[in-house]
């Protein structure tokens, strides 16, 4: 019994130990759950909003919806710039796989992609073989290339790792038309130059997005918080530019630059003075907006280009892209005499036709020097203001500047906008650079009175002349006519902005009448357009001693009609090195060519329907197609034409398949008509000779010697223009249209 009792006590003691452990375990568990509850409460009530937001953001995936960039139209609704759908091609290196999940080798990828997108193989290989998660292979890829890629992937059985993402590309249907005005966009569709840059915020729009909940595998899950935020497309803008008038301006500007060998190109601006609308703004050389980084307009070889530093390359490209009509300063020369004239008449300092107001001996003594008139072979003698403007006499305007004084001149310079940035909504604009008012001496007063040693922009000059033409009212130049919101279908009209009355109606009429005299009786005779009243002023500025390499600047500003003026045209040629560097001879004919096409196009009635032409009694080239060669020869010879045809078959059975010139044109007897047959359709080209400045008879001989035909407009004088331009290649038999006018004395 004693043993049993001891044994019982031992069992009792052993049972106490587990009970203590359970108590401790229960205590720990209780503390753990209390702590957990506190933590849960902390997360839920203290950090709940933060963690909930973080979890939501982790699960939600945003897809950006790019807006469509607005379209740029001309004033008639012709598309000048618009965005088209393209794609961006990217891939995930190391994850491009065949259907069997096997990774595509880097060399296979590099070879295929470089061939499809015309890329450098080594650069492409470096991309596809990189450690990056994603690399872009090509941007702005059009549909045909995407299709080619998809076909290649199908052929290779590649199913994953190559991404095709929707994008947009800016496209310019007319390539180089108004290129320096419109500008272009970068790869991110942000405007970099011209209108594209200045109106970028209006054109860009606002991105939208789709917010979708996705699980860890990336699959969409149902979520009541899914959001769709629509993109706001960019606004469309309608320019005041007329694409047809722009094309006319560019055609004759290019021709003038080539014919006069203008090393620094040229500008043309056409403006409606009544509302400030810019109808054309041309710069040459221009460039292809769809290939803005091409070095072709720069005129250097690829080898020479590669030797230039990045800074030098950027500078040369910038010079090509620049809108010089707004962003370049130049010396206006004698066109600026119109401003001096306006100030003098408005202040009643001089009248238009007092015959003894001015006297020219060929030079004028100012301070310590003699300043010459442009006329180096004599003097203009005694003159009225009208005659001084007709003669473009520098001494007369130096005398006039002294009568006016710097105080009054600077008041009008400011009123005409020369101290303001004109056209800053078109491109980067500059204020004119004039003498410091406190440092104006006799020489400075003299030179600025006839437009030398001051610099302004072409747009400032034409805006000032438009003010004179618009009854003295300065209207702000307008380049955007209206803005269209394509989403809301609303249109905002950019109102015409009349700034100030600079001169009176009476002064305006007096100056326009004198500008008419400049064209009818003075140095602007080459700007005449038969059937229309044209006023104008020539200008020639010489280079300064510090910038002799820049050469002369020849210019002409024309207005038409004189009554109710609707057009102002400014032509500027930089460093002409042809037969003349004077504005009347080089820029005046260009203004006439432009006006002769633009005035009828705009429906502006002529003063007379009779045009000076010599073709009233000329024979008409007949239609010879499908006639036998022998019959065609008889018809042409009966009309007085010569015939050229090269066949070895029977003339009585061989039919004429084509002819040059075409039927319907009037040509002088003796012109040569070239016939072609199915047996011989080979065309021969010839070089057009330069006949500017030649008499009619000499010009005809030169043209015919080149196996070309000639059509002359005008009765007598010398050739002032030709189309096609000289040194261009043309098919034999092509008609060269020539304008002749009486030879005139020219001035600055």
Q: Is residue 218 part of a domain?
A: yes
Phi and psi at residue 75, to the nearest 5°: -65, -20
Whether residues 576 and 523 share a domain: the answer is yes
- Torsion angle in degrees (nearest 10) through CA of 639, 688, 580, 525: 30
pTM: 0.73
| CATH code assigned at 229 | 3.90.1310.10
Q: How many Cβ atoms from other residues are within 10 Å of residue 470's Cβ?
A: 24
Whether residues 498 and 350 share a domain: the answer is yes
> What residues does 628 pair with on adjacent strands?
655
**Residue 524 pLDDT exceeds 90:** yes
Residues in the chain: 748
User: Rounded to an integer, what distance in angstroms lies between the CA atom of residue 175 and that of residue 745?
Assistant: 40
Whether residues 558 and 671 share a domain: the answer is no
**Can you tell me the mean pLDDT for 67-89?**
91
Task: Tell me the pLDDT band of 188, cut-offs 50, 70 and 90.
Answer: confident
Find the helix or strand (DSSP H, E) in which 248 lies: helix 243-259
Task: Tell me the pLDDT band of 87, cut-offs 50, 70 and 90.
Answer: confident
Task: Tell me the pLDDT band of 391, cut-offs 50, 70 and 90.
Answer: very high
Min mean pLDDT across 588-597, 603-612, 644-653 is at: 603-612
Reference 268, options 281, 279, 252; nearest CA is 281
- pLDDT tens profile 459-502: 999 999 999 999 999 999 999 999 999 888 889 999 999 999 99
Whether residues 507 and 382 share a domain: the answer is yes
pLDDT given for residue 696 in this prediction: 79
Whether residues 592 and 542 share a domain: the answer is yes
Cα distance between the two ends of the chain? 148
In whole angstroms, how large is the CA radius of gyration of the chain? 39
Whether residues 387 and 413 share a domain: the answer is yes
Q: Helix count (H) and strand count (E) of the chain?
A: 23, 33
pLDDT given for residue 207 in this prediction: 73
| Percent of the chain residues topping a pLDDT of 70 | 86
**Residue 701 pLDDT exceeds 90:** no
Cβ atoms of 552 and 577 within 8 Å: the answer is: no
User: Rounded to an integer, what distance in angstroms lies between the CA atom of residue 673 and that of residue 669?
Assistant: 11
Whether residues 86 and 32 share a domain: the answer is no
Which range marks the domain in which residue 717 is found?
629-741
Q: Over the range 316-343, which residues count as b (16 or more CB within 10 Å of their CB) and which as e?
A: bbeebbbbbbbbbbbbbbbbbbbbbbbb
User: Rounded to an integer, what distance in angstroms lies between the CA atom of residue 100 and that of residue 695?
Assistant: 82
Find the helix or strand (DSSP H, E) in which 636 lies: helix 629-638
User: Rounded to an integer, what distance in angstroms lies between the CA atom of residue 736 and that of residue 29?
Assistant: 107
Q: Is residue 39 part of a domain?
A: yes
Whether residues 425 and 519 share a domain: the answer is yes
Task: Tell me the pLDDT band of 175, cut-offs 50, 70 and 90.
Answer: very high
Kindly state the tokens that stand for 34.
Answer: 């209390």
User: Rounded to an integer, what distance in angstroms lies between the CA atom of residue 242 and that of residue 587?
Assistant: 22
Characterise 268 by phi-psi region: left (phi > 0), alpha (psi -120 to 50), beta (else): beta
DSSP reduced 3-state for 257? helix
| CATH code assigned at 461 | 3.40.710.10
Whether residues 568 and 655 share a domain: the answer is no
Q: What total of structural domains would you count in the chain? A: 4
Q: Is residue 704 part of a domain?
A: yes
Query: Which spans in 118-223 are helix H?
Result: 121-128, 143-156, 179-182, 194-198, 200-204
What does the mean pLDDT of the chain come to? 87
- pLDDT tens profile 310-340: 999 999 999 999 999 999 999 999 999 999 9
| Percent of the chain residues topping a pLDDT of 90 | 66
Whether residues 592 and 634 share a domain: the answer is no
Q: Is residue 289 part of a domain?
A: no
More confident residue, 566 or 1: 566
Task: Tell me the pLDDT band of 700, cut-offs 50, 70 and 90.
Answer: confident
DSSP reduced 3-state for 197? helix
Kindly state the tokens that stand for 122.
Answer: 């080594």
DSSP reduced 3-state for 732? coil
**Residue 612 pLDDT exceeds 50:** no
Say which residues have a Cβ less than 8 Å from residue 315's Cβ, sequence separation at least 6: none
Q: Is residue 284 part of a domain?
A: no
User: Rounded to an integer, what distance in angstroms lies between the CA atom of residue 102 and that of residue 98?
Assistant: 5
Alpha carbon distances (Å) from 260 to 24, 257, 556, 577 = 108, 5, 15, 6
Question: What angle, 0 to 180 degrees and rounded to 10, lies between the N-to-C axes of helices 442-449 and 394-404?
Answer: 120
User: Rounded to an integer, what distance in angstroms lies between the CA atom of residue 370 and that of residue 310?
Assistant: 47
Whether residues 158 and 35 share a domain: the answer is no
For CA atoms 440, 441, 443, 449, give the dihedral sign: positive
Whether residues 37 and 81 share a domain: the answer is no
């Amino acid at each position: 019994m004693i043993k049993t009792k001891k044994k019982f006590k031992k069992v009792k003691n052993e049972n106490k130990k587990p009970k203590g452990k359970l108590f401790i375990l229960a205590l720990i568990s209780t503390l753990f759950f209390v702590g957990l509850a506190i933590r849960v409460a902390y997360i839920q009530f203290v950090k709940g909003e933060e963690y909930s937001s973080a979890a939501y953001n982790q699960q939600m995936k945003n897809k950006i919806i790019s807006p469509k960039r607005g379209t740029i139209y001309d004033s008639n609704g012709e598309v000048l710039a618009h965005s088209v759908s393209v794609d961006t091609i990217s891939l995930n290196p190391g994850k491009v796989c065949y259907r069997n999940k096997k990774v595509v080798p880097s060399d296979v990828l590099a070879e295929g992609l470089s061939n499809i997108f015309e890329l450098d193989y080594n650069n492409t290989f470096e991309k596809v073989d990189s450690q990056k998660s994603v690399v872009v292979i090509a941007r702005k890829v059009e549909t045909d290339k995407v299709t080619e890629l998809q076909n290649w992937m199908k052929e290779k059985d590649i199913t994953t790792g190559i991404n095709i993402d929707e994008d947009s590309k800016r496209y310019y249907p007319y390539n180089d038309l108004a290129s320096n005005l419109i500008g272009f966009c970068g790869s991110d569709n942000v405007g970099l130059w011209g209108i594209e840059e200045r109106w970028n915020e209006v054109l860009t729009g606002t991105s939208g997005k789709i917010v979708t909940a996705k699980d860890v595998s990336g699959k969409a899950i149902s979520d009541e918080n899914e959001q769709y935020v629509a993109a706001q497309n960019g606004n469309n803008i309608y320019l005041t530019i007329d694409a047809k008038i722009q094309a006319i301006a560019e055609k004759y500007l290019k021709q003038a630059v080539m014919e006069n060998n203008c090393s620094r190109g040229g500008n043309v601006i056409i403006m409606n003075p009544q509302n400030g609308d810019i109808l054309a703004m041309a710069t040459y050389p221009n460039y292809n907006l769809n290939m803005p980084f091409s070095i072709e307009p720069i005129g250097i070889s690829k080898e020479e280009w590669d030797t230039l530093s990045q800074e030098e390359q950027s500078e040369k490209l910038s010079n090509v892209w620049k809108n010089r009509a707004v962003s370049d300063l130049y010396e206006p020369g004698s066109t600026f005499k119109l401003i001096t004239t306006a100030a003098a008449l408005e202040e009643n300092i001089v009248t238009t036709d007092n015959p003894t107001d001015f006297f020219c001996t060929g030079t004028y003594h100012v301070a310590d020097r003699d300043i010459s008139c442009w006329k180096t072979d004599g003097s203009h003698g005694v003159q009225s203001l009208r005659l001084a403007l007709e003669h473009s006499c520098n001494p007369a305007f130096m005398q006039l500047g002294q009568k006016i004084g710097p105080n009054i001149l600077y008041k009008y310079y400011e009123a005409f906008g020369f101290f303001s940035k004109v056209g800053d909504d078109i491109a980067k604009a500059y204020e004119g650079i004039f003498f410091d008012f406190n440092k104006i001496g006799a020489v400075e007063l003299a030179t600025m009175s006839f437009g030398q040693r001051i610099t302004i922009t072409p747009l400032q000059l034409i805006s000032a002349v438009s003010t004179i033409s618009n009854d003295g009212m300065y209207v702000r130049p307008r380049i955007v006519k209206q803005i269209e919101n394509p989403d809301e279908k609303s249109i905002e009209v950019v109102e015409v902005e009349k700034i100030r009355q600079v001169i009176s109606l009476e002064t305006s009429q007096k100056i326009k009448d004198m500008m008419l005299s400049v064209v009818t009786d003075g140095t602007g005779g080459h700007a005449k357009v038969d059937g229309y009243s044209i006023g104008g002023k020539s200008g020639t500025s010489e280079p300064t001693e510090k910038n002799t390499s820049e050469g002369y600047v020849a210019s002409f500003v024309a207005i038409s009609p004189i009554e109710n003026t609707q057009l102002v045209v400014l032509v500027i040629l930089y460093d002409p090195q042809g037969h003349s560097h004077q504005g009347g001879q080089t820029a005046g004919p260009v203004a006439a060519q432009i006006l002769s096409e633009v005035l009828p196009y705009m429906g502006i009635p002529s003063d007379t329907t009779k045009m000076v032409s010599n073709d009233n009694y000329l024979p008409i080239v007949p239609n010879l197609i499908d006639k036998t060669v022998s019959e065609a020869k008889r018809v042409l010879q009966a009309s007085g034409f010569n015939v050229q045809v090269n066949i070895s078959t029977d003339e009585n059975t061989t039919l004429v398949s084509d002819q040059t010139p075409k039927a319907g044109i009037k040509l002088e007897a003796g012109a040569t008509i070239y016939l072609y047959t199915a047996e011989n359709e080979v065309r021969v080209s010839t070089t057009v000779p330069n006949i500017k400045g030649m008499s009619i008879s000499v010009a005809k001989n030169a043209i015919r010697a080149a196996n070309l035909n000639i059509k002359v407009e005008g009765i007598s004088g010398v050739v002032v223009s030709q189309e096609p331009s000289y040194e261009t290649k043309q098919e034999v038999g092509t008609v060269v249209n020539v304008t002749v006018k009486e030879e005139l004395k020219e001035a600055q």
